[in-house]
Amino acid sequence: QAIRFDYSNARTFVKPHEWEQLAPAIGQAHEMLHKRTGPGRDYLGWVDWPERYDRAEYERIRQAAARISSDSDVLLVIGIGGSYLGAKAVLDILGHSFYNLLPKSKRRSPEIYFVGNNISPVYISHLMDVLEGKDASINVISKSGTTTEPAIAFRLFRNWLEKKYGREKAKERIYITTDKSRGALKKLADEEGYETFVIPDDIGGRYSVLTAVGLLPIAVSGADMDALMQGAADAREQYMVMDLHENPCYQYAAIRNALYRKGKMVELLVSYEPQFRFFAEWWKQLFGESEGKDGKGIFPASAEFSADLHSLGQYIQDGMRHLFETTVSVTKPAIDMTVQGDPDDVDGLNFLTGKHMGFVNKKAFEGTVLAHVAGGVPNLLIEIPEATAYHVGGLIYFFEKACGISGYLLGVNPFDQPGVEAYKANMFALLGKPGYEEQKAELEARLRD
Ligand code: PA5
């Protein structure tokens, strides 16, 4: 059995009829998604992707990953937003918490670092310190090929590789994931003879983790990409059912919309496993870019418990009542440990001696849910049996589909992101990009005012 969705702790906030009344709208959203009649219809390639992905490219990904693993100590993954968050999320959940720090003998893959997701010279130069004396390969991921952050990083690390290995040898260490025929990166890759992988035209960045965008870094990490894809394929089958009562993915979409209509404007994605930190980042991009538009949308936020119970916990329990929580949980932790006894019992915790930490974590979760629900915060639970590639694949698909359906319920186009252009235009103008002269003058005047 795959994902369990439990909304019993939202029952006192939203009555069954409130979300069940959304059934006809869910039916419409389902039709729009599957018949490709809704807004953003040209970006629905992800819906059937787990079934129809390009098997030949998939094999090339596997081979490239084997090559990288054999000739590199380090893989640098250069990309931002949808071009990195999915891979980072999956690597963190399926990999070792300290995978880059493990001794080589205990590691099944190269160290993997993500770069090009900020414009920080500090971050980049610190990364360069780590690379000293190591063999490296680069996977640059950018659909447009011109995104500022990864483009700046690629300039730097391409130079670094060429200095280290010479231009010809460096070419064998550069892997490009980009549009199949257009864009600056594709042109460069063709000219230089870099190996390329495709970001399909009909799949937007935030829906692209199961394409080469996510799969090459995931394959390099040694995670089981067959199981990941199988989990997504099975979820696709499972969440195809139009009936709201039979489909937990649609129930999640419906309930969060019902809560939103009652003033619950912020959804906190919560986990009790630090390995899920980047899964929450991926989820925030997915829902934030898909729903936050036209003056509407649930604000997607995240918290990591129990750490954040010692900080945000106060607000969640007692602050403005515009929140609901969605906990992503794993029934069986991959590893468990027992709490140690202490002869002096200085902290008074000897009553926990011998108890599994997984059990303590579970009680922290149960206690938190009870407290937060009593404090006016509805709670949803999405639970996978184990943090395996198969279940993570299913979870990714669950959220992708819920997001598409939820966006249609909200009445937005869940597959565009016009809002991300505004800052870029201003940044280019302020940096003096040719063609932005008028805007530059106007913005500089505003900065002076
Ligand atoms: O979801 C999106 O479309 C964005 O987050 C993009 O993935 C991000 O801006 C990176 O774009 P690109 O792949 O063109 O470099």
Tell me if 81 CB under 6 Å of ligand 1: yes
Q: Which atom of ligand 1 is nearest to the CA of 150?
A: 15
Distance 326 CA to ligand 1 centre (A): 26
Q: How far apart are CA 255 and CA 22, in angstroms?
A: 9
pLDDT at 116: 98
Distance 214 CA to ligand 1 centre (A): 13
Tell me if 289 CB under 6 Å of ligand 1: yes
pLDDT band at 449 (very low <50, low <70, confident <90, very high): confident
**pLDDT at 43 exceeding the cut of 60:** yes
**pLDDT at 19 exceeding the cut of 90:** no
Q: Is 109 in contact with 222 (CB distance < 8 Å)?
A: yes
Q: Name the residue at shortest CA distance from atom 2 of ligand 1.
A: 205
Distance 354 CA to ligand 1 centre (A): 48
Tell me if 80 CB under 6 Å of ligand 1: yes
- Which tens digit of pLDDT belongs to each residue from 346-355? 999 999 999 9
pLDDT at 337: 97
Tell me if 400 CB under 6 Å of ligand 1: no
339 φ, ψ (degrees, to nearest 5): -75, 135
pLDDT band at 104 (very low <50, low <70, confident <90, very high): confident
Q: How far apart are CA 370 and CA 31, in angstroms?
A: 38
pLDDT at 2: 85
- Per-residue pLDDT, averaged over 15-29, amounts to 93
Three-state DSSP state, 99: coil
Give 29's Cβ-side CA count (13 Å radius). Answer: 28
C-alpha distances out from residue 238 to 10, 33, 193, 228, Å: 24, 15, 42, 15
Positions marked active-site:
289, 424
Give 228's Cβ-side CA count (13 Å radius). Answer: 25
**DSSP letters for 394-435:** HHHHHHHHHHHHHHHHHTS-TT--GGGHHHHHHHHHHHT-TT
Q: Name the residue at shortest CA distance from atom 12 of ligand 1.
A: 142
Q: Which atom of ligand 1 is nearest to the CA of 79?
A: 15
Q: Which atom of ligand 1 is nearest to the CA of 141?
A: 13
pLDDT at 220: 98
Q: What is the ipTM of this complex?
A: 0.95
**pLDDT at 108 exceeding the cut of 90:** no
pLDDT at 1: 57
pLDDT band at 68 (very low <50, low <70, confident <90, very high): very high
